[in-house]
Amino acid sequence: MMQRSSAAAPEDAIYRKIARRIVPFLFFCYVVNFIDRVNIGFAKLQFLQDLKLDDAVFGLAAGMFFVGYLVFEVPSNLLLEKIGVRKTLLRIMVLWGSLTVLLMFVKSAGMLYLLRFLLGAAEAGFFPGIILYLTYWFPDRQRGRITSLFIMAVPLAGIIGGPLSGWIMVHFHDLLGLRGWQWLFLIEGVPAIALGVMALLYLDDRPASAKWLSHEEKRFVAMALDADRKTRGTQYTPPAGLADVLRNPRIYLLSAIYFCVFMGLNAIGFWIPTLLRHVGVQQLGHIGWISGGMSVCTAIGIVVIGHSSDRRAERRWHVAACGFAVAASFLLLPFAARSVPFTVALLVVASICIYATLSIFWTIPTADLDGGAAAAGIATITAIGAIGGAVSPSLIGSLATRTGSIYTGFAVIAVLLIAGMIALLWAVPSPRRSPLGTAQPAVPKP
């Protein structure tokens, strides 16, 4: 045990060095990304009345983002494999920041649908591209915690974005003749443009091109990733390229499971402000601060769950347990309709578990895919999952308009989540992984 610990210490130092260099920047990019993706949930509290639209239109507009996302997801990730993450993030972030700003000029439902579609098309490839990028630097045994740290950007986006969005809409309302929701899109769109330019200047496409790593450290990273590939070869024969990916039923199974996860993710991402208003929280500022407080709990929760998954070298049951907890929270929401604390508690559980599900889920396909197959496989799974992202807000908005109850759509999504988690446990084998600190290549001497 002592030998194992002493061997792990230099290795941990190398991965800490890599993580300190690339994860904070990617983390901040994802914070801005998620704020820009879901800020329409806050903006709708004003613009629906200004533009004389209803929840069904909002739900469809929120979903149109993922239609564009779906169409361009696979091409974007395949392009990243060829041109690298620096140029890819420059293209993606400058485009999505510009389109977020353009949302301030929306005058009709049609224009809203178009800009949301274009925003999704611009952003396509960002999340799967980062997941792919992390596989260039970290082996599977490290990736659960690293992915959890990256995913923690989402609740931090809630911590920042909720209060910030509420503050902008209250304090900038009618300033210079612009409505609060117009200022929201303007102010929150600009940072993405700046970060896209910074990505080109700051990041390295691969460890081999990183001047801040020594030759020995680069060699160690390459050996660790090669050891991962050899381990995969003894357990499962992964698809070799795009054609194999598209013929592989395992990819479609994982895509179907991710579809269910994404349904739950967007139910949380787009409808929390509306749910809070529905149970009696009327002031925009209060909604923002409650959302921010919920996100603090979420950030802590996903790190704890991600660490547990890595420490036990177990993925499937962590994902499934979190998915079942989200479904249970959704099904209980109608019973909390008269209670703000009960509703907030259920949403906190759902938020923690859906984002923990998202982060740990991605350790499953990335453990089985490599090279071009990783680019194609990750993009295929996220593209099909994006269909769930498109369906989820539209489903909730449509059912809320037709039935008069916002909870009907959440119940449907809960059933789908349960089905997805059962499929995960039934069809995805538990990989034979060694816990942290075992089966590692020799660590370079300092």
Confidence at 7, pLDDT banded by 50, 70, 90: very low
Using alpha carbons, select from 372, 374, 354, 355 the residue that is nearest to residue 364: 374
For residue 68 the two structure tokens come to 């564009």
Residue 25 falls within a domain, yes or no?
yes
pLDDT given at position 268: 81
Backbone φ, ψ for residue 212 (5° rounding): -85, 0
Burial-class residue 408 by CB neighbours within 10 Å (0-12, 13-18, 19+): middle
Burial-class residue 140 by CB neighbours within 10 Å (0-12, 13-18, 19+): buried
Residue 153 falls within a domain, yes or no?
yes
Q: Provide the domain limits for residue 122.
A: 12-427
Residue 222 falls within a domain, yes or no?
yes
For residue 25 the two structure tokens come to 């920047």
**Average pLDDT for 87-106:** 91
pLDDT given at position 422: 92
**Average pLDDT for 329-335:** 92
More confidently predicted of 431 and 73: 73
Residue 404 falls within a domain, yes or no?
yes
pLDDT given at position 173: 82
Confidence at 368, pLDDT banded by 50, 70, 90: low
pLDDT tens-digit map of 26-50:
989 988 988 887 788 778 878 888 8
Residue 5 falls within a domain, yes or no?
no
The whole-angstrom separation of Cα 304 and Cα 371 is 30
The string of DSSP codes covering 197-221 is HHHHHH--SSGGG-TTS-HHHHHHH
Least confident of 50-64, 263-277, 378-392: 378-392
User: Do 77 and 132 meet the contact criterion of CB atoms below 8 Å apart?
Assistant: yes
Residue 2 falls within a domain, yes or no?
no
Residue 438 falls within a domain, yes or no?
no
**Percentage of the chain with pLDDT > 70?**
86
Burial-class residue 282 by CB neighbours within 10 Å (0-12, 13-18, 19+): exposed
**Average pLDDT for 343-354:** 90
Confidence at 131, pLDDT banded by 50, 70, 90: confident
The whole-angstrom separation of Cα 131 and Cα 141 is 15
The whole-angstrom separation of Cα 333 and Cα 326 is 11
Question: Does position 327 have pLDDT exceeding 50, yes or no?
Answer: yes
Residue 445 falls within a domain, yes or no?
no
User: Do 319 and 357 meet the contact criterion of CB atoms below 8 Å apart?
Assistant: yes
For residue 39 the two structure tokens come to 């800020």
User: Do 30 and 154 meet the contact criterion of CB atoms below 8 Å apart?
Assistant: yes
Q: Which of 126-135, 204-213, 372-381 is the most confident on average?
A: 204-213
More confidently predicted of 302 and 429: 302
Question: Does position 89 have pLDDT exceeding 50, yes or no?
Answer: yes
User: Do 307 and 145 meet the contact criterion of CB atoms below 8 Å apart?
Assistant: yes
pLDDT given at position 440: 46
**Average pLDDT for 330-344:** 89
pLDDT given at position 430: 63
Ramachandran quadrant class, 364 (left: phi over 0; alpha: psi -120 to 50; beta: rest): alpha
For 183, residues 6+ apart whose C-beta sits below 8 A from its C-beta are 104, 168, 169, 172, 173, 175
> What is the identity of the amino acid at 436?
L
For 275, residues 6+ apart whose C-beta sits below 8 A from its C-beta are 333, 343, 347, 406
Question: Does position 3 have pLDDT exceeding 50, yes or no?
Answer: no
Q: How far is CA 124 from the centre of its chain?
A: 12
pLDDT given at position 309: 78
**Average pLDDT for 399-411:** 86
The whole-angstrom separation of Cα 31 and Cα 38 is 11
User: Do 190 and 101 meet the contact criterion of CB atoms below 8 Å apart?
Assistant: yes
For residue 199 the two structure tokens come to 């990505």
In the chain, the number of structural domains is 1
pLDDT given at position 202: 92
pLDDT given at position 244: 62
Sole residue written with tokens 């002592």: 2
Least confident of 116-120, 149-153, 168-172: 149-153
**Average pLDDT for 362-384:** 66
**Average pLDDT for 433-442:** 44
pLDDT given at position 250: 77
Question: Does position 324 have pLDDT exceeding 90, yes or no?
Answer: yes
- What CA–CA distances, in Å, run from 11 to 43, 150, 177, 233, 412? 46, 20, 57, 23, 46
Q: What is the CATH number of the domain that holds 366?
A: 1.20.1250.20
